[in-house]
């Protein structure tokens, strides 16, 4: 079963493993986990860096609705 949350601002679905962009910048991030009860998710920069990419928490309202499919890494 896929973990998912409704983004109340954009009415989009965010799924664990999705690649997304944040409103604050145009880099690509991968969704690691979602807490839909608190409208939060944890992301890391995509593609992964050689020695790993730090995971950090963001509000689901800061996730940009994708206009086009994300590029494959």
Instruction: Report yes or no on whether pTM surpasses 0.85.
Output: no
Q: Kind of pairing, strands 63-64 and 55-59?
A: unpaired
Please count the other Cβ atoms lying within 10 Å of the Cβ belonging to residue 33. 12
Tens-place pLDDT, residues 23-57: 999 999 999 999 989 999 999 999 999 999 999 99
Instruction: Give the model's pLDDT for residue 73.
Output: 58
């Amino acid at each position: 079963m896929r973990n998912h949350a409704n983004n109340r601002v954009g009415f989009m679905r965010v799924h664990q493993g999705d690649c997304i962009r944040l409103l604050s910048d145009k880099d690509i991030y991968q969704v690691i986990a979602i807490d839909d009860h608190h409208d939060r998710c944890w992301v890391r920069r995509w593609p992964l860096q050689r020695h790993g990419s730090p995971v950090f928490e963001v509000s689901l309202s800061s996730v940009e609705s994708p206009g086009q499919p994300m590029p494959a890494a």
